[in-house]
Structure 1
Amino acid sequence: MYYIRIYVQAQSEKTAARKLLQENNLRLGHFTTSRHGANFVETWVDGMAFSELNREKEEINRLKEEFEKHKKQLLKRKPQVSTAKTKGGKTSNSSEHDHLTTDEFYEMEEILKLRAAAIRKREADVLAELEKLERERTLHIRELKRIHNEDQSRFKDYPILSERYLLLHLIGKGGFSEVHKAMDLRELRHVACKIHQLNRDWKEDKKANYIKHALREYNIHKKLDHIRIIKLYDVFEIDENSFCTVLEYNNGTDLDIHLKQSKYLPEREARSIVIQVVSALRYLNEIKPPIIHYDLKPGNILLGSGVYSGEVKITDFGLSKIMEDSDDSNSDGLELTSQGAGTYWYLPPECFMIGRAPPKISSKVDVWSVGVLLYQCLYGRKPFGHDMSQSAILEQKTILKAVTVDFPSKPAVSSEAKNFVRRCLQYRKEDRPDVLSLCDDPYLRPKKLVNQSSSNVSSISSNSLP
């Protein structure tokens, strides 16, 4: 009975999602396919809401032209100071019938000022509405792709995997995997089922390598138990070309989508996110052997919603490094054998250095990533290589040239936040703090504790011997 209720609810949610999609196709826009020679090309067509806004912008432009015309006409009728004597000895304005009196001019001038203010407000309202619609359109396009991928998935018809996990709907799709929201019928909780699908045409050695990589990620992830890290519950084979990992379900979005919707975040929110991420990194560096995440980026930071709003969890340990034979205090770090992997905007210079031997890395890789994350949250752009492709970053050696970080004048950000970013983005890894040192950074600690520590130091200094 419980299974049937969940199944019916999932069907209802899927129907509602498609109904909303159709409504948004009309309101926000949709893709159309047209033929160009031998190829079919998808073109985006804006919906009615954008058409209405465009008409409103045209009307505002017409009003602005009218306003400028009236303004010029009023200036031509401005009262004249110079006067000329008539034959009868009286003074008279040279264009008496064209010019206004001082009172009339002032009255019309005030009317035009009010009209200009009304036009500016109307224009600001349109721009605000356009920004809102563009954010909605971004989510709509994402939902269009999600539903298209869901309709193409072989797991779309609510299968039960491993006699336990009822798949409800597709969350997202990657290169060789897709993630479904599911119900664990044994534990009666929602989970995320990540289904890895190997290409049937792959050679056996490529399949073996993919499985080896996925199992390595599973073996790292399954041992982790921290409130700021997504839990991994289970792994099982579906058939000879696919298997599934079962993860903790996060009923929210990720930081990447949040930033695309918000552009940038208030410093208080950005700082809270970083505090939580660093808490997870502390755990990864205190366990034995320590772990470097190596792929910290907005897409791998999940945000809570509802009663969990404000909370974050990190995920995706596919590129993680285990520091088995290395101790930050006694060595230069771990040899980077997978040079070229990762998301370049978030990796430090040492990951791009080429020499006779592979570069050495440590937890300071993740510290650099934290600095990039905070900068991006505060300013809505990456500090290095923003709007550049990964290949361009590599070709132009962008990160290798990232010696200093520049801060935009807006939005306003505290000097403490800027200094924290500078500490994280020290070019030489020897000058950059490791994760455990970063945990004690004054910017991440409660202000009361920082002030208390400062007062204690002052007290000790005042009581010391001369």
Structure 2
Amino acid sequence: MSEELERYSVIKGTYTIDSLIGKGAFGKVYKVRHKYLGIQALKIFNPGVISKATEGDLFNEAFLLSKITHNNVVRVYEANTFEYSGKQYYYIVMEYVKGPTLAEFLEENCQLEIDKALNIMKDICSGLAQAHKLNPPIVHRDVKPHNILLEIGGNKVVSKVSDFGVAKHLDPVTRVTDAAGTIAFMPPEVMSNYENTASDVYSAGIILYMMSTGIFPFRMPKDYQTNTKKGIENLIKLTRGSLPDPPSNHNSNIPKELDRIILKSLNPDIKYRYQDAEEFLNSIKHYQEESKQHIKEDLEKQLDPPILENINQALKLGKQYSTLKEAIRLMETVIIEAPSDKKEMLKNKYKFLLENWRKGIVM
């Protein structure tokens, strides 16, 4: 829709336009007020963007997605069409998420602490896994930071996956000619139309690589033609034919085991990747559990029992919003009173945790 809907316009007698909150090549997103159910988000696709051949599938998938009530998935409430100025428009009504996109967040926070990057990725994989478990599975096909919304509450950050399956229903010509913004996250098999749940894993792996290192895993040539199918096909072949450098080459804090996990998600051969988001998620969880155990054992060797007891007490207090101030005070005291040869280690280890506690975020 080229023109912007005016505030207080009413769609289908149900949705009252509040404000425009996003727009792109495929359409616009509005904050709307449902007649009975309060604030929601309304995505309206431009005329000709949705392929007529997959119209029925779009509505069927919207119905399946509406059954997902997982915390890491943006809820889908309805998919339908409406007439405006003599033209038919497709729309999807979704949960309204107030926070920024992951893309906006990463503009200000280029390289994240490893645990923070992994926690965001666990949310993303948890959301993707809900659609991958459906029968038949729904493949997102456009996993990228712009489609991850961050809900920032008083005491935590939750990542939510949006726009499941929409890319599949875009008109093929439109999808190719407007792919420049998403090509960096496309898997090698995208041009052969052999996308499955492992394709979403590949795109998620690119995001994890980027969050952990601050850079994309593949060098994208400048001035490369991306407005034709052939141009994109050549670019994909050029940049996706082999594994990227290990992430630890760009961030020495990344352990070799995490290198292995990230690179497995980015294997150019779909057979050797994690086959779905749940498998990727379980690998990350296992790594974090093992890592925490090793850190705990190392700390127990290096620190006296009274210091360890205070650290554990602070960590326990930090799990409740009502006791965050006490957790901060206790952890700061531990660091201040630690032996000089242990002070820097404790500062570095708990810097990220303290920063989040001070923002009121429970970890």
> What band does the TM-score fall into relative to the shorter chain?
0.5 to 0.7
Given the alignment of the two structures, is residue 299 of structure 1 paired with residue 159 of structure 2, yes or no?
no
- Contact map agreement 2:217 2:244 (CA 8 A) in 1: no
In the superposition, the TM-score normalised over structure 1's length comes to 0.52
Could you tell me which residue of structure 2 aligns to residue 432 of structure 1? 273
Aligned 1:38-77 pairs, distance under 5 A: none
User: Which of 153, 156, 160 in structure 1 is aligned with 2:6?
Assistant: 156
SS of alignment partner, residue 441 of structure 1 = helix
- Contact map agreement 1:385 1:398 (CA 8 A) in 2: no
Could you tell me which residue of structure 2 aligns to residue 191 of structure 1? 40
Could you tell me which residue of structure 2 aligns to residue 405 of structure 1? 245
Displacement, 1:166? Answer: 1.6
SS of alignment partner, residue 143 of structure 2 = coil
Could you tell me which residue of structure 2 aligns to residue 172 of structure 1? 22
In the superposition, the TM-score normalised over structure 2's length comes to 0.65
Displacement, 1:160? Answer: 2.1
- Contact map agreement 2:77 2:95 (CA 8 A) in 1: yes
State the distance in 1 between where 2:33 and 2:155 align: 19
Sort the Cα spacing of 1:414 and 1:443 in 2 relative to 1 into closer, same or farther, 3 A.
farther
Structure 1's unaligned 5+ residue stretches are: 1-148, 199-205, 322-337, 353-357, 453-466
Could you tell me which residue of structure 2 aligns to residue 56 of structure 1? none
Could you tell me which residue of structure 2 aligns to residue 364 of structure 1? 198
Deviations 1:122-170 (A, max 9, x none): xxxxxxxxxxxxxxxxxxxxxxxxxxx9xx8441232122222221110
User: Which of 208, 214, 236 in structure 2 is aligned with 1:374?
Assistant: 208
Aligned 1:75-94 pairs, distance under 5 A: none
State the distance in 1 between where 2:219 and 2:25 align: 24
User: Which of 212, 215, 230 in structure 1 is aligned with 2:74?
Assistant: 230
Residue identity over aligned pairs, in percent, reads 22
Could you tell me which residue of structure 1 aligns to residue 132 of structure 2? 285
State the distance in 1 between where 2:5 and 2:176 align: 33
SS of alignment partner, residue 263 of structure 1 = coil
Could you tell me which residue of structure 2 aligns to residue 395 of structure 1? 234
Displacement, 1:381? Answer: 1.8
State the distance in 1 between where 2:261 and 2:176 align: 28
State the distance in 2 between where 1:418 and 1:387 align: 25
State the distance in 1 between where 2:56 and 2:146 align: 22
State the distance in 2 between where 1:308 and 1:193 align: 27
Structure 2's unaligned 5+ residue stretches are: 295-363
Could you tell me which residue of structure 1 aligns to residue 283 of structure 2? 441
Report which of the two structures shows the higher radius of gyration computed on alpha carbons: 1
Larger relative contact order (Cα-Cα within 8 Å, sequence gap ≥ 6): 2
SS of alignment partner, residue 398 of structure 1 = helix
Could you tell me which residue of structure 1 aligns to residue 315 of structure 2? none
Sort the Cα spacing of 1:259 and 1:190 in 2 relative to 1 into closer, same or farther, 3 A.
same
State the distance in 1 between where 2:155 and 2:41 align: 17
- Contact map agreement 2:246 2:263 (CA 8 A) in 1: no
Could you tell me which residue of structure 1 aligns to residue 167 of structure 2? 319
State the distance in 2 between where 1:162 and 1:246 align: 12
Could you tell me which residue of structure 1 aligns to residue 305 of structure 2? none
Deviations 1:373-425 (A, max 9, x none): 10111122210134745727643532343334343444633333322111111
Sort the Cα spacing of 1:348 and 1:195 in 2 relative to 1 into closer, same or farther, 3 A.
closer
State the distance in 2 between where 1:438 and 1:191 align: 31
SS of alignment partner, residue 64 of structure 2 = coil
- Contact map agreement 1:384 1:402 (CA 8 A) in 2: no
- Contact map agreement 2:74 2:161 (CA 8 A) in 1: yes
- Contact map agreement 2:141 2:195 (CA 8 A) in 1: no
SS of alignment partner, residue 279 of structure 1 = helix
| Letter matched to residue 166 of structure 2 | G
CA RMSD of aligned residues (A): 3.3
